[in-house]
Chains A and B, each alone.
Chain A
Amino acid sequence: MNESMTNGNDEKPATRRRSSFLWFSLALLGISLCVLRVAVASQDGAAASAEAARTLWQSIGIWVAAFMTLGIFSFLYKDNPFYKVCESVLIGVSAAYWMVSAFWSTLVPQLFAKLSPTLVKSYAMPSLTPSETPGLDFALALVPLALGGMLLWRLAPKGQWISVWPIAMVIGVTAGLRLISAVESDFLAQISATMRPLIALETTTDAAGVATRSFDFWGTVGGFVGVIGVLSVLSYFLFSIEHKGVVGKSARLGIWFLMITFGGAFGLTVMGRITLLAQRFEFLFKDWLGIG
């Protein structure tokens, strides 16, 4: 293999032999899967008719998707050219997808349609409604046009400071937006959500429609746990006071709350990752191999 497809590592003969064996095994596995796929399609009437119903491009697409999936999975054994090709393709198509998507969904209707409505209406957006204030729209669109050009100047070899202007604007808007939302939704609203009656009461309605309120033990426990949890974790984050005495004990309790929080988060994360893998296997078995 030439240097274009390596990372510059020299392989020893023993490693190369092992590598050849690996690739032979993987190729054998791949061929076996293909044979299985064809065998299933030819024996299973339903699968065969489904295959016929698919267009040629859909069938090619499923095969391509299957090989891409296996290519990424091959990394589990070790890093290899098959995986690297898939990775490179992913980077290329993703960058292009985002750029094309941003171009047609945002730049054309929000920017170019205001700068040159006639051109955009004639060639890209025939349903474009004429603006009531085209002059003002044009003038206002010049600002993001200029700032956008300055942002792209970052790619130029010289004068990169020019891109600081649009970056300053992006930071300014983000700071302005987040200042309000952080205080409102993540600070005040959270304090408000913590400040709830510690003694919980349960309302039950009997058959006659009479509502009675009773003491809710677990609701009360939950209320206490919530308040104590928030305060103790906050005390752990309070680094301007030495963690000694009452603050130290509270901070220690806060760490325990955080550990339970992270334990719960770990459980949910595992579930998420397994689901992703299950979906890929479903694709390989059902859509590609036609089994399961």
Chain B
Amino acid sequence: MTNPQHIGGIRGFFARLGGIDRRWIFLAMGLSIAIPILLKLRFPEYPGPMAKATFDAVEKVPEGSTVLLSFDYDPASAAELQPMASALVHHCASRKLKIVFMALWPLGKQQADRTIDTVLKPFHPEYREGIDYAQLGFQAGNEGVIKVMATNLPKQYPNDADGKAIGDIPLLKDTKDLGAFKLVASISAGYPGAKEWVQYGNGAMPDAFEVVSGSTGVQVGQLLPYYPKQMEGLLVAVKGAAEYEMLVEAKYPAADPEVIGQGRVRMGPQLVAHLLMIALIVLGNIAMIAGRPRGGAR
């Protein structure tokens, strides 16, 4: 490769651009996200088929039925998944569904607690713990937890997260297995998560309940083959969250947009950052071409 310092003109400029200190790129990326946040840039979202399918899956569950929400993520993915979780809980509660929270990730329990405190309690004060909702918390064992729950839920969860015996919780006292739920929703950041719910939950009881999932952009590729046969709905990354929020807000507008609107807030910086990414890729390729010797071998 030709030394970029020896190339003049615009070609030389682009050739030298290839060797730019990466911290300038970091700065550009930082600004592309910080400025839209400070300017509160927001754009309209248009719900796609997968978000609509997720919304419809919750809508189809008869009022008063019990749904299981599995919080299979941690703070590292909360930026993408918490908006989905908040909207999903608000949607379920608006439809008067009984909600059972659990977690396959140790830190998922904290995320579920946060959702109860920020969504369920303030927006649905009529929801009573133990009667309308229950928090089972985290259990170690990954797919093993689902496997036991599929056939014997009290064996896996003899008590809820607060140590209360499952037989003393009105919502769960007659629950024998996963068949008690009409819908299982896994907010999933990886292993164990939505994939395991399809494999060990839906696989064990294919006709008992529907599975829906909200997943990170990184993991969602693994879940695409399950949609729509084994997974009724799938929220794809923060865009999926924003689209789902739109659908929920349109029908159940009581919620605080600051809480059921985080996904749309985070879509603002996406536009600028995505354009920057495209520009960086294009510039990187121009720099590569400019740095090549004229008419020479690559």
Residues of A within 8 A of B (CB): 76-77, 97-98, 101-102, 105-106, 109-110, 113, 124-129, 173, 177, 180-182, 184-186, 189-190, 192-193, 261, 264-265, 268-282, 285, 291-292
Contact = CB atoms under 8 A, between A and B. Distances in A.
B230 A279 contact: no
B140 A102 contact: yes
Given A181-B200, A185-B202, A275-B80, 6 more contacts: A101-B109, A105-B106, A129-B167, A180-B203, A271-B237, A282-B266
Most buried by A among B79, B80, B164, B203: B79
A177 B143 contact: yes
B238 A292 contact: no
B141 A106 contact: yes
Contacts of A273: 217
25 contacts: A97-B106, A98-B106, A101-B107, A105-B106, A106-B140, A109-B163, A125-B159, A126-B163, A127-B159, A173-B144, A181-B143, A268-B237, A270-B277, A272-B217, A274-B273, A275-B217, A275-B237, A275-B238, A278-B37, A279-B78, A282-B265, A282-B266, A285-B38, A291-B38, A292-B40
Contact of B270 (A275, A281, A291): A275
Nearest to A261: B221
B216 interface: yes
Most buried by B among A76, A126, A277, A285: A277
Nearest to A279: B79
B216 to A, nearest CB: 5
Contacts of A109: 158-159, 163
Nearest to A280: B79
A193 B226 CA distance: 9
B245 to A, nearest CB: 14
B161 interface: yes
Given A173-B144, A268-B236, A291-B38, A76 B26 contact: yes
A106 B156 CA distance: 9
A29 to B, nearest CB: 13
Contact of B221 (A184, A268, A279): A268
A181 B140 CA distance: 20
Most buried by B among A77, A126, A129, A280: A129
B71 interface: no
Nearest to A277: B33
B269 A278 contact: yes
Interface in B244-298: 265-266, 269-270, 273-274, 277
Contacts of A106: 138-141
Interface of B: 23, 26, 29-30, 33-34, 37-38, 40, 76-80, 106-107, 109, 137-141, 143-144, 147, 158-159, 161, 163-165, 167-168, 198-200, 202-203, 216-218, 220-221, 225-226, 229-230, 236-239, 265-266, 269-270, 273-274, 277
Contacts of B139: 105-106, 110
Contact of A113 (B26, B158, B203): B158
Main SS of chain A's interface residues?
helix
Contacts of B221: 261, 264-265, 268
A192 B230 CA distance: 11
Contacts, number: 147
Contact of B109 (A105, A193, A282): A105
B230 A189 contact: yes
B37 A190 contact: no
A58 to B, nearest CB: 14
A186 B226 CA distance: 9
B147 A105 contact: no
Contacts of A180: 203
Nearest to B40: A292
A184 B238 CA distance: 31
B199 A181 contact: yes
A125 B217 contact: no
Given A265-B221, A272-B216, A281-B33, A101 B138 contact: yes
B163 A127 contact: yes
B198 A278 contact: no
A273 B164 CA distance: 39
A271 B144 contact: no
Given A102-B140, A272-B217, A185 B270 contact: no
Most buried by A among B23, B165, B236: B165
Nearest to B169: A127
B265 to A, nearest CB: 7
B220 A268 contact: yes
A177 B200 contact: yes
A182 B137 CA distance: 27
Contacts of A105: 106, 109, 137-140, 161
Contacts of B230: 185, 189, 193
Nearest to B154: A129
A124 B217 CA distance: 41
Most buried by B among A76, A181, A193: A181
A271 B109 CA distance: 25
B243 to A, nearest CB: 13
